Amino acid sequence: MGKRKENSTNIINEEYLKECDLTYAICMVGGRWKLLILCNLEHRKLRFSELRKQISGITERMLALQLKELEKAGLVKRTVYAEVPPRVDYELTSIARELVPIWAQLSSWGKKHKQSNADISLVENLSTVN
């Protein structure tokens, strides 16, 4: 990733967002792929290739970038083994493990919300037919 200018709007906005603890937390795990990566690491250590296979649609480059960001944020621990060929494992840190019940609850909410939206769409479709 390229380096951003210190006075860029993006950096200024980032500082405002970090003032709210909730927004800060969402920024740590937000985005399309981070929660998927974290959820896949919930039960065990995984190698890069195993993660790549479990998350369909993610490119190798994007997975590498997201893992670097999660490692920098202290949510993922990267372990390199001095072997030939080299082996690298990824696992959740203890602070990331604290998120497991939170994302389980968020997942439950998402399921309910998705179902309620499907029910609303069904009612709207039926009313347009009549």
Contact yes or no for 91/41 (Cβ under 8 A) = yes
- In this structure, what DSSP letter does residue 22 have? H
Whole-angstrom distance, CA of residue 128 vs CA of residue 130 = 6
The Cα 96–Cα 42 span in angstroms is 9
Q: How far is the C-alpha of 98 from the C-alpha of 8, rounded, in Å?
A: 33
Q: How many Cα atoms within 13 Å fall on the side-chain side of residue 74?
A: 4
Task: Judge contact between 76 and 67, C-beta under 8 A.
Answer: yes
Which residues on adjacent β-strands are paired with residue 81? 87
Q: What is the pTM of this model?
A: 0.76
Farthest-apart Cα atoms in the chain, separation = 69
- pLDDT tens digit at each of 130 positions of the chain: 566 677 777 777 777 777 788 888 888 888 889 999 999 999 999 999 999 999 999 999 999 999 999 999 999 999 999 988 889 999 999 999 999 999 999 889 999 888 888 777 666 666 665 5
